[in-house]
Amino acid sequence: MPQIRLERMVKRYGAVEVLHGIDLEMQDNEFTVLVGPSGCGKSTTLRMIAGLEDVSSGEIYVDGKPVKHLEPKDRDLAMVFQDYALYPHMNVAQNISFALRLQKRPKSEIDAKVRDVAGMVGLTDFLGRKPGALSGGQRQRVAMARALAKDSGIFLFDEPLSNLDAKLRGQMRAELALMSQRVEKNMIYVTHDQIEAMTLADRIVVMHGGYIQQQGTPEELFKRPVNKFVAGFLGMPPMNFLDGRIEDKGGALFVTGDGFSLRLSPEKAAIARMAQNPDVILGIRPSDLSYAPEAAPETALTLKVMVSEYIGAQSVLMCQCGGQSVTVEMNSETPMALGETLQFEANAARIHLFDKTSEQAI
Amino acid sequence: MLTSRLNRLSPYMFMAPAAVIMAIALIYPLGYMIWGSFRDWDPSQTIGEAEFVGLKNYITLWGDPNFHESLGVTLRFAFICVIVEMIIGVGLALLLDRDIRGMSLLRTMFILPMMIAPVVVGLMWRYMYHPTVGTFNRTLEWLGLPDVDWLGQHALMSVIIADIWQWTPFIFILSLAALQSLPRSALEAARIDGATAWQQILYIKLPLMMPVLIVTALLRLIDAFKVLEVILVLTEGGPGLSTEILALRISRTATEFRELGVAAAMSNYLLILLMLLTVAMIGFTKWQEARAAKLRMANEEDS
């Protein structure tokens, strides 16, 4: 399966530059997810790989060959669109076989292929239906089957699940994960949903403002975000950020801010000592805070519980720490009264520090 | 009690003026025409004085070679015009459905002919077709080519060209609107599936535009059957009967031959023809709606 490489890829609309020199390499058989908020350039990047948008400067290589000047049909790729993009006047079988019929493949081969992929996505009973007579999930399957039938090495997904309702989205996500294990293709998937990114990706590429912020495995990005944006974007509920200052108290380093003062672990302290700017942002995930009434004050945050959102086994608490808000994720069984001021221990190993001005991780 | 009754009546009160105008301007003349078509009626008589002849006018027309000729001219004119207009109009729309500098100006220019009054169009083309001083023949002369007897030997072709010039824009703007409302992503999917520009037109664009195109063609056909002014100004139906379309023959039968009854019967034949087309059009849209409803039903049964 082909290897894709983007080299200093730039997209300009008139004078406005929306992608600022993207460098990216996608390996054989890899499921790459481009994720970011709307307007970050992820869909544009995908559409440029597909050949639906011109490349303003830079180059795209597939297996070492430049493909920038090629038409979409000559790039060996298949694509699934957000709005499915089915041909409304053709039935399911005709939709799936359109590319094969254009290639003038023999009829017996086409029929076999259609049966094969329709079986894969569970559409065998619907081959004679027009897209208008299918539900959203079924249409999405047709789009998937159509892309599968093409037998191309690169598989592009442009937010394929965002038009589905939450339950169906979860189900399709699981099916997609299963499919990506079965078919050996180089897949590139665009989404704004960080859960889809985390669950599906071999590699996540986080984009923001036309730049790649960070790329790596989901675990790498979750545990070691390189800046505040990536830290805040991945993970649900999002990471808490508190303004603070690094202070030396009798040899030990503390992060002190409005209503808290946390002692840093020796490893963190060694890194923090090298920071030039003492003004920092403390980052801590809601799941890394735990209710601990007896914890030592230098390892815990004292929070006033304002709102509790019950979501089943877990509850999300919206709390106040000085003038800043903090969310905490905790077991719903823990008795809790609104308005109480409680102590929550912070997992010292999972504290993140970001430079206040550059917002880069320290 | 009274107010509630008044309230219930108020919609009818609002509709009444329109209904009265309809009755005076449409239903009364229509009834008059149908009534008159059963009589041997001269313009000097009132309708009451005219002799009742039953279906005689209709039967006479049925066997009248001049009427057949006129009907043939009308059918030829309408179908050739609409077919050529559809091909050129849709073709132009497919060509101009893109972002090029100055495209909006170009589009506006294309629809100008449609905005000109038919009589003016007729006069304009009559000057252009003039055998000695007309634009066409002078251009041909300048190119060293032989003259063409536009409104003489090739009269029907000439009026067809004028009609095409005037009404192609109508089809052009409707096709362009249809094209621009096509789902963009389906066309992108077709590009990725490997369709060339020509295959996109053939397999995706035209089939998806078809409902609009069918209605447009029927509308144009209905219109083409009733055309009068341009031909009246250009040829007055001549030479001979070569461009005498039905509308023109009706008016001449009434004014020159002074046979109001026959003219009325002829109008009714034309009306029946147009009704058939209209019914076909309504039937087509009904069929489409029914199909859409059936699709929705099937959809709901599944989910």
Residues A173, A273 share a domain? no
In a domain, A362, yes or no: no
Domains identified in chain B, total number: 1
Q: Look at residue B286 in the predicted model and tell me its pLDDT.
A: 87
Residues A335, A207 share a domain? no
Look at residue A323 and tell me whether its pLDDT is greater than 70. Answer: yes
Look at residue B81 and tell me whether its pLDDT is greater than 90. Answer: yes
- Grade residue B29 by pLDDT with cuts at 50, 70 and 90: confident
DSSP bridge pairs for A319: A305, A326
Which CATH number does the domain housing residue B100 bear? Answer: 1.10.3720.10
Q: Look at residue B289 in the predicted model and tell me its pLDDT.
A: 81
Q: What type of residue is B194?
A: G
In Å, how far are A154, A346, B7 from B126, measured between CA atoms? 63, 93, 58
By percentage, how much of chain B surpasses pLDDT 90? 24
Chain A residues close to B194, C-beta within 8 Å: 73, 99, 102-103
**Nearest residue, CB atoms, A133 vs list B189, B207, B295:** B295
- Cβ distance B186 to A88 less than 8 Å, yes or no, reads yes
Chain A residues close to B196, C-beta within 8 Å: 73
Chain B residues close to A129, C-beta within 8 Å: 298
- Grade residue A283 by pLDDT with cuts at 50, 70 and 90: very high
**How many angstroms separate the CA atoms of A187 and A180, rounded?**
8
- Grade residue B256 by pLDDT with cuts at 50, 70 and 90: confident
Instruction: For residue A252, give how far its alpha carbon lies from the nearest alpha carbon of chain B (Å).
Output: 59
- Cβ distance A146 to B195 less than 8 Å, yes or no, reads no
B117 in helix, strand or coil? Answer: coil
In a domain, B211, yes or no: yes
The mean pLDDT of chain A is 89
Look at residue B13 and tell me whether its pLDDT is greater than 60. Answer: yes
Residues A191, A48 share a domain? yes
**How many angstroms separate the CA atoms of A238 and B11, rounded?**
59
A274 lies in which domain range?
240-355
- Convert the pLDDT of each residue in B198-248 to its tens digit: 999 999 999 999 889 988 998 899 889 888 888 888 888 778 778 888 888
In a domain, B293, yes or no: no
ipTM of the complex: 0.82
- Mean pLDDT confidence for B267-278: 89
- Under 8 Å CB pairs connecting chains A and B tally to 76
Contacts of A31 (CB under 8 A, 6+ apart): A180, A187, A189, A200, A201, A202, A203
With CA atoms as reference, the chain B residue closest to A85 would be B186
| A230-244, A250-264, B48-62, B275-289: which is most confident | A230-244
φ/ψ (deg, to 5) at B228? -140, -55
Q: Look at residue A46 in the predicted model and tell me its pLDDT.
A: 93
Residues A204, A110 share a domain? yes
Q: Is B199 on the interface with A (CB under 8 A)?
A: yes
Residue where the block lists tokens 């099937």: B298
In a domain, B294, yes or no: no
Top residue of B188, B193, B199 to mutate, by most chain A CBs within 10 Å, is B193
In a domain, A361, yes or no: no
- Convert the pLDDT of each residue in A104-148 to its tens digit: 999 999 999 999 999 888 888 889 888 888 888 889 899 999 998
Residue where the block lists tokens 């009427």: B67
Look at residue B45 and tell me whether its pLDDT is greater than 80. Answer: no
Residues A211, A294 share a domain? no
In a domain, B296, yes or no: no
Q: What type of residue is B59?
A: I
- Convert the pLDDT of each residue in B149-206 to its tens digit: 888 888 888 899 999 999 999 999 899 989 988 988 899 999 999 899 999 999 999 9
φ/ψ (deg, to 5) at A19? -125, 125
Which CATH number does the domain housing residue A272 bear? Answer: 2.40.50.100
Q: Is A103 on the interface with B (CB under 8 A)?
A: yes
- Cβ distance B189 to A146 less than 8 Å, yes or no, reads yes
- Cβ distance A134 to B199 less than 8 Å, yes or no, reads no
**How many angstroms separate the CA atoms of A36 and A12, rounded?**
19
Look at residue B301 and tell me whether its pLDDT is greater than 70. Answer: no
Residues A288, A273 share a domain? yes
Six token digits for residue A74 = 């000559």
**Nearest residue, CB atoms, B299 vs list A82, A84, A135:** A135
**How many angstroms separate the CA atoms of B200 and A102, rounded?**
11
Residues A266, A164 share a domain? no
Q: Look at residue A214 in the predicted model and tell me its pLDDT.
A: 93
Q: Work out whether strand A240-249 and strand A252-257 pair parallel, antiparallel, or are unpaired.
A: antiparallel
Contacts of B63 (CB under 8 A, 6+ apart): none
Q: Look at residue A48 in the predicted model and tell me its pLDDT.
A: 93
By percentage, how much of chain A surpasses pLDDT 70? 100
Residue A25 gets the label, from left (phi > 0), alpha (psi -120 to 50) or beta, of beta
Domains identified in chain A, total number: 2
Residues A185, A245 share a domain? no
Q: Look at residue A66 in the predicted model and tell me its pLDDT.
A: 92
Residue bearing the bigger pLDDT, B242 or B73: B73
Which residue, of A233, A268, A284, is where some domain finishes? Answer: A233
- Convert the pLDDT of each residue in A153-199 to its tens digit: 899 999 988 888 888 888 888 888 888 888 888 899 999 998 889 98
Instruction: Please choose, from the candidates A183, A215, A182, A212, the residue with its C-alpha nearest in 3D space to the C-alpha of residue A201.
Output: A215
CB-CB contact of A120 with A181 (8 Å)? no
**Nearest residue, CB atoms, B194 vs list A50, A103, A130:** A103
In a domain, A262, yes or no: yes
DSSP letter string, A238-285: PPEEEEEEEEEETTEEEEEETTEEEEPPHHHHHHHHT-S--EEEEEE-
**How many angstroms separate the CA atoms of B124 and B233, rounded?**
10
Q: Look at residue B242 in the predicted model and tell me its pLDDT.
A: 81
**Nearest residue, CB atoms, A102 vs list B189, B195, B302:** B195
In a domain, B210, yes or no: yes
With CA atoms as reference, the chain A residue closest to B210 would be A89
Instruction: For residue A132, give how far its alpha carbon lies from the nearest alpha carbon of chain B (Å).
Output: 6
Q: Residue A311, exposed/middle/buried by CB under 10 A (0-12, 13-18, 19+)? A: exposed
Chain B residues close to A160, C-beta within 8 Å: none
User: Quick check: bond before A278 cis, omega within 30?
Assistant: no
- Mean pLDDT confidence for A1-26: 89
Chain A residues close to B203, C-beta within 8 Å: 87, 98
Residues belonging to chain A? 362
Look at residue B99 and tell me whether its pLDDT is greater than 80. Answer: no
Residues A81, A29 share a domain? yes
**How many angstroms separate the CA atoms of B168 and B224, rounded?**
12
In a domain, B190, yes or no: yes
In a domain, B66, yes or no: yes
B123 lies in which domain range?
25-288
- Convert the pLDDT of each residue in A30-47 to its tens digit: 899 999 998 899 999 999
Residues A228, A250 share a domain? no
Q: Look at residue A278 in the predicted model and tell me its pLDDT.
A: 87
Which CATH number does the domain housing residue A124 bear? Answer: 3.40.50.300
**Nearest residue, CB atoms, A102 vs list B183, B189, B199:** B199
DSSP letter string, B124-179: HHHHHH-TTTSHHHHHHHHTTPPP--TTTTTHHHHHHHHHHHHHHHHHHHHHHHHH
Residues A322, A274 share a domain? yes
**How many angstroms separate the CA atoms of B81 and B75, rounded?**
10
DSSP bridge pairs for A325: A320
Top residue of A47, A48, A73, A142 to mutate, by most chain B CBs within 10 Å, is A73
Contacts of B76 (CB under 8 A, 6+ apart): B156
DSSP bridge pairs for A244: A280
List of E strands, chain B: 39-40, 51-52
In a domain, A209, yes or no: yes
Look at residue A27 and tell me whether its pLDDT is greater than 90. Answer: no
Which residue, of A183, A207, A233, is where some domain finishes? Answer: A233
In a domain, B38, yes or no: yes
Six token digits for residue B77 = 């004119």
Residues A216, A247 share a domain? no
